[in-house]
């Protein structure tokens, strides 16, 4: 996984694309050779946009053999890996972290189905990869890793299926509403009940372990 570096303030503008420039290598086997690289401090052309202005803080990271990547916001785990499985799994975890139910029970049901579908898609991709490995090699480390991922995903999917997303209010207007309670106060009680129920379901979602490799 790549490690992001935080830069407090850009000393030069950083462009979205950058200009390809030539330079003479000073070291290694290519010493003395004329090579080329992308200089992000120079615009590719007049239409190239500034990504980071002078004085702005930013994060930068790079994968082995690749070009530096720049961002004004802190990169998330899904952005710092080139492993397709981990990137997708981290994206699912990040989606859960970002989820806001807004006190609406219907969003819980939709969200659980969405995450379950994401996990099923990732599991099916792992299963397809495993099926494409020759049978005699499926017990090798690569095959065992895929099998473990499939089992972990199946377990997580099962736990999401066990979450009850059917909201059933326990408040009855005829028996629970006070005689002098205003419509606004009664609605507040109903909304608080929904929010509490949603918080409980989000807790159940977060309790499902997706921290596997």
Mean pLDDT of 112-118: 98
Measured in Å, how far apart are the chain's first and last C-alpha atoms? 12
Taking only the tens place, the pLDDT of each residue in 14-39 is 999 999 999 999 888 889 899 999 99
Taking only the tens place, the pLDDT of each residue in 57-89 is 999 999 998 889 999 999 999 999 999 999 999
Per-residue pLDDT band at 139 (split at 50, 70, 90): confident
Mean pLDDT of 179-198: 95
What pLDDT score does 53 carry?
97
Residues paired with residue 7 on neighbouring β-strands, in sequence order: 58
Per-residue pLDDT band at 137 (split at 50, 70, 90): confident
**In the chain, where are the structural domains located?**
5-75, 84-206
What pLDDT score does 135 carry?
83
Tokens of 37: 């690289």
């Amino acid at each position: 996984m790549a490690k992001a570096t935080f830069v407090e303030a850009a000393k030069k503008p950083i462009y979205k694309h950058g200009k390809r420039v030539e330079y003479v290598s000073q070291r290694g086997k290519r010493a003395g050779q004329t090579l080329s690289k992308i200089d992000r401090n120079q615009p590719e052309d007049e239409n190239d946009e500034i990504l980071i202005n002078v004085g702005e803080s930013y994060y930068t990271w790079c994968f082995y053999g690749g070009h530096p990547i720049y961002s004004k916001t802190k990169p998330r785990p899904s952005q710092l890996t080139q492993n397709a499985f981990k990137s997708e799994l981290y994206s699912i975890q990040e989606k859960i972290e970002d989820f806001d139910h807004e006190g609406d029970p219907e969003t819980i049901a939709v969200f659980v189905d969405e995450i379950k579908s994401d996990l099923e898609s990732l599991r099916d991709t792992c299963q397809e990869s495993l099926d494409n490995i020759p049978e005699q090699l499926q017990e090798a480390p690569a095959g065992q890793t895929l099998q473990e991922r499939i089992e972990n995903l199946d377990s997580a999917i099962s736990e999401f299926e066990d979450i009850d997303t059917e909201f059933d209010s326990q408040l009855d207007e005829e028996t629970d509403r006070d005689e002098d309670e205003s419509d606004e106060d009664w609605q507040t009680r109903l909304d608080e009940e929904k929010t509490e129920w949603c918080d409980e379901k989000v807790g159940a979602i977060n309790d499902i372990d997706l921290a596997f490799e």
